[in-house]
Amino acid sequence: MPQKILSEVGFDAPVDNPADGTDDMENEVKNKEKLKEILEGNICKQRESIHMMCDEVKQKRVLKSIEKLERVEGQLTQEVRLDENTANMADFESDVEEKENRVRRARLHSAALVEKLRIESKVAASAERRAEERERALKEEELKSKEMESLYGQHQEALSAKTQELQSLKSRENFLLANISAGQTTVTGLKERQSGNEQEVQIAALERKLQALSEEEDESKERKTLQEEESELAQTLRAKKKAARMLRKQQKNMETELGCGRRAVEKTADSRKELSSKVQEMELDTDASIRELKSLGVKKQDVLRRDFLLRLDVKRVGGHAQSEADRLVAAETRKLQLELAVKELQLENAFKREMHLAKTVITRQDLTKLRAEVNQKLRRADTLRRKYETVATSSFRFQGEVVTLQSYTGRTCKDTELKSRLDLWTQKVCEKQAEVKMLENTLNTHRSQSAVPRATPRSAEDHGKQSLSQEKRALEETCYSKRRKIHKLQQDIKGEKIALDKLLREESLQTCRVDEARSRLQLLKKQLRSQEAKLDCTHQQCSEVTLEVQSAWKPQDKTKKEEQEEEVEEEQEDIKLSKLLDFSREVDRMLLEVMAKQTDLGSVLLAQFQQNNLSLLTPATPPATDREMTCTSASSLGRGSSETPAPSSRGVDSDSNDLTLKLALKIDIVQSEM
């Protein structure tokens, strides 16, 4: 079993033949056992022969030869057994030590491979994690780039809308400038008309007076009337001069207002220029952002390519790590199989040691038995020798006695037989000595052979060490190449991280620029709205001024003095009426607030107002300013005076009286209810 396991695992045997070291050891042990059996058989034969010799031979030569043979036999057996035991023990110990060293080396190698596998698995896991992080970062960058593209589209739409608004504002500004220039031309024309009308009126009046004076020179009364008319005309001229002064003042005010409007227009032009410059800057920013987006797209493609290459490297490294993991698993399985084989070999070696110990014990017991038997035989030989000596001494003593032929012949026959046996034993001893020499030669050859295979395991060990060192070098080279690749991957990842940081910074800068552009656009929108409001106000003021000028310069039937007085009165009445309207609106507002807070009181007040045919004025529009009210009242009065002056003043008086009455009734009702 262990030999099959070792052959399956591919463990390098110490011998170059296909058979393993264990087979060689078993063959050597079998050969030694065979030699031992042969020697034991020979020893048994020698023992039997010795027994026979002890039984038959009773002479000193035989005993000496037996002792020599026993000594030689004992020495040979001891030497053979000691050599066998020492050789076997040394071989077993060397084999065990070699196998233990191999097992230790295999364990160390497997531990190193396990550590390398762990390191490579950690590196592969870290590389996979980094690849996943890179994928997430790339996805985030794609989302951010999409958001930037959408923001860029929105900015382009906003820029197009702003350009359209600027174009509309430019057209409106041109229209307003044209209106202002037309108003200025109308004002100059009105001034010229005013001067011409004054001269014509004066000339017509003087011609009439001259005609009247020429026709009625004789009549003194008419002269007086003419004088009075002249005085009246002088007064009217003074009034007209005053009116002209007023108009000049109004003209100056209008000129100041026109200057303000021009300044506002200039400001709008400046703001328009600033807006155009800002729009150009925004266009430049958009062009720069487009370029940056293109560069970011190129960088993104480069990053995607690098990511793809990194994924391929990670897959390749993962496959290599998987192959190494499989290799390590196979090595671990081999290690386990080797451990099992080593354990079995250790068990076999322990069993063999026990067998050898048992055999040594048995041989020692046999030696003790043999020594006891030899001692017993020696004792018997001594007794026989003594008996023979006693018999010989007794025969020599009794030489004078008659010896029979049978006893003599028997003794002579025995002597001849003993001699022949001695010759045979001497031959056998010589043969045994030759056999012993042969055995010594075989032992020497066996020792030389056992020394040769001892060298072969060392050569096999050297070969195994060389193969292990080559594998170690190959693994170190692979580890070094993997470390280089990992270092390169780490450098690439660092570079990509730096590129990602740069891209994030650029993206943050672009977002800041976009926010600044948005804030600028909002400020520009606010400025445009304020400029539009100012332009609307100036347009309204210009229209009001033109209406006032037109209403002021219409042909009039009444005298200018009366018109001035009526205008002053109407203005005062309009002011009073506007004040009353404001006061009534405030009162109605306060009443509505109180009625909304207190529903019971509100229902009672509504009932009282309905009984007295009164209604609350809801403040739908905010009250106008004093200047606007005066302008509107003046314009309305101018129109009314030109058409029907008397009824308008009466209507104003009636309206003011009605308002005062209604206010008084409302206040009385509220006081009565409170």
Average pLDDT on 169-192 reads 73
Q: With 70 as the cut, is the pLDDT of residue 634 above it? A: no
Measuring CA to CA, how many Å separate 356 from each of 36, 131, 353? Answer: 12, 65, 5
The residue assigned the tokens 């589209």 is 153
Judge whether 662 and 614 are in contact, CB under 8 Å: yes
Q: Which residues of 547-564 are buried (b: 16+ CB within 10 A; e: fewer)?
A: bbbebbeeeeeeebbebb
Task: Classify residue 296 as exposed, middle or buried by CB count within 10 Å of its CB (0-12, 13-18, 19+).
Answer: buried
- Residue 73 exposure: Cα atoms within 13 Å on the Cβ side: 22
pTM: 0.24
pLDDT score at 450? 55
Structure tokens belonging to residue 368? 């003790």
pLDDT in tens, 637-666: 333 333 333 334 444 455 566 666 666 666
Q: With 80 as the cut, is the pLDDT of residue 94 above it? A: no
pLDDT score at 446? 61
Mean of pLDDT over the chain: 68
Judge whether 232 and 208 are in contact, CB under 8 Å: no
Q: With 50 as the cut, is the pLDDT of residue 99 above it? A: yes
pLDDT score at 474? 73
pLDDT score at 595? 75
Judge whether 605 and 668 are in contact, CB under 8 Å: no
Judge whether 111 and 328 are in contact, CB under 8 Å: no
Which residue pairs, CB below 8 angstroms and at least 24 apart, start in 117-121?
117/321, 117/324, 117/325, 117/328, 120/317, 120/321, 120/324, 120/482, 121/321, 121/325
- pLDDT > 70: what percent of the chain? 58
Q: With 60 as the cut, is the pLDDT of residue 316 above it? A: yes
pLDDT score at 618? 52
Average pLDDT on 146-169 reads 75
Q: Return the amino acid letter for 172.
A: R
pLDDT score at 454? 44
pLDDT score at 115? 78
When pLDDT is cut at 50, 70 and 90, the band that residue 557 belongs to is very low
pLDDT in tens, 260-272: 777 777 777 777 7
The residue assigned the tokens 């690439």 is 492
Q: With 70 as the cut, is the pLDDT of residue 314 above it? A: yes
d(CA 550, CA 534): 24
pLDDT score at 659? 63
Domain ranges of the chain: 564-674
Q: With 80 as the cut, is the pLDDT of residue 298 above it? A: yes
Q: With 60 as the cut, is the pLDDT of residue 58 above it? A: no
Q: With 50 as the cut, is the pLDDT of residue 4 above it? A: no
pLDDT in tens, 452-472: 444 444 555 566 667 666 766
DSSP three-state, residue 553:
coil
Average pLDDT on 222-231 reads 72
The residue assigned the tokens 């609350």 is 616
Position with higher pLDDT, 257 vs 653:
257
Q: With 50 as the cut, is the pLDDT of residue 200 above it? A: yes
Distinct helix (H) and strand (E) counts, the chain: 9, 0
Average pLDDT on 611-631 reads 49
Average pLDDT on 301-324 reads 77
What does 16-54 look like in DSSP terms, one character per residue? SSSS-HHHHHHHHHHHHHHHHHHHHHHHHHHHHHHHHHH
Q: Which residues of 243-272 are buried (b: 16+ CB within 10 A; e: fewer)?
A: beeebeeebeebeeebeebeebbeebeebb
Residue 391 CB: number of other CB atoms within 10 A? 11
pLDDT in tens, 493-533: 777 767 777 777 777 777 777 777 677 767 777 777 777 77
